[in-house]
Amino acid sequence: MIAIIDYGVGNLFSLRSSFAAIGQDAVVTSDIEEIRRADRLILPGVGAFQDAAEKLRASGMDKAVKEETAKGKPLMGVCLGMQMLFERSYEYGEHEGLGLLKGEIRPIAERIPEGLKIPQMGWNALRIVKDSPLLKYTRKGEYVYFVHSYSAVNCEESLLAVTEYGADLTACVGCGNVFGCQFHPEKSGEVGLRILKAFCEIGGNA
C-alpha cells in the first residue's frame, strides 16, 4: 500500500487517481500509524516552502517520514514535496528542509536568462544523466509537466535528470531509497504513469 501524505498542501487526489490507473492501492492519509504500515510513501506539495515545512512539522509527520525512510522504505517527493527532501530552501528567506538529500533550493531566476517566464510552466523534455530504477521505463527526450519557480542546486550526488529552460534545471533526483520529481507525474500522461509504475516496483533498500 502506498501512503500519500496529507499535511494540508498538495494535489493529493490526482496522485491517488494516477496510482489507481496503474492498478496500485494508494491512500491519502494524515495518520502516522498508517504511514508506518505503508510499503512506500509519497510526499506531495504545492505552494510556499516555509508554509509546507511548518505544516509537516506541526503534524509530526516529518519525524515519521525520516524514521520510515531510515528503515529503507521508498519515498518519492513531488514538486514542492521534492524540494522539501533537501537540506534547505532560499524561498523568501532561509528555511530548513528534511535533509534527506544533499543540496538546496534556489530561485530559477538566478540561473535562467532574463525574459523567460517564471514560473516555468508546461511540458518540457527530460535529459537523463544517471541510470535509476525510477526512470527505467523513461526514455531520453520524453516530455513531462512542470510548474515551478525554484529548483534544486548543488545536488550532484542525487541528480538523475535535468530539463532545459535557458539552463539545465534539476528535474528528477534519487539517492538510496529517496526519490523526487520536480515535475508532476500525475499530470504527465503516459510518461508520468510509467514513472509511478517504476516507483512501485522499487523495493526497500533500493
- Torsion-angle region of residue 26: left (phi > 0), alpha (psi -120 to 50) or beta? beta
- Where do the structural domains in the chain lie, given as residue ranges? 2-200
pTM: 0.95
User: CATH fold of 2-200, please?
Assistant: Rossmann fold (3.40.50)
From 68, 104, 184, 200, active-site residue: 184
| 184 labelled catalytic | yes
Q: How far is the CA of 163 from the CAs of 37, 116, 134, 144, 188, in angstroms?
A: 35, 14, 16, 9, 14
| 79 labelled catalytic | yes
From 172, 175, 186, 200, active-site residue: 186
pLDDT of residue 12: 87
| 156 labelled catalytic | no
From 79, 155, 181, 200, active-site residue: 79
Instruction: Indicate the burial class of 51 (C-beta count within 10 angstroms; 0-12, 13-18, 19 or more).
Output: middle
Listed as ranges, residues in the chain with pLDDT below 70 are: 204-206
Q: In angstroms, rounded to a whole number, what is the distance separating the alpha carbons of residues 184 and 194?
A: 12
CB 22 within 8 A of CB 54: no
pLDDT of residue 46: 85
pLDDT in tens, 16-69: 999 999 999 999 999 999 999 999 999 998 888 999 999 999 999 999 999 999
Residue with cell 531510515: 70
Q: In angstroms, rounded to a whole number, what is the distance separating the alpha carbons of residues 77 and 86?
A: 10
pLDDT of residue 204: 55
Tell me, rounded to whole angstroms, the distance of Cα 30 from its chain centroid.
18
CB 198 within 8 A of CB 161: no
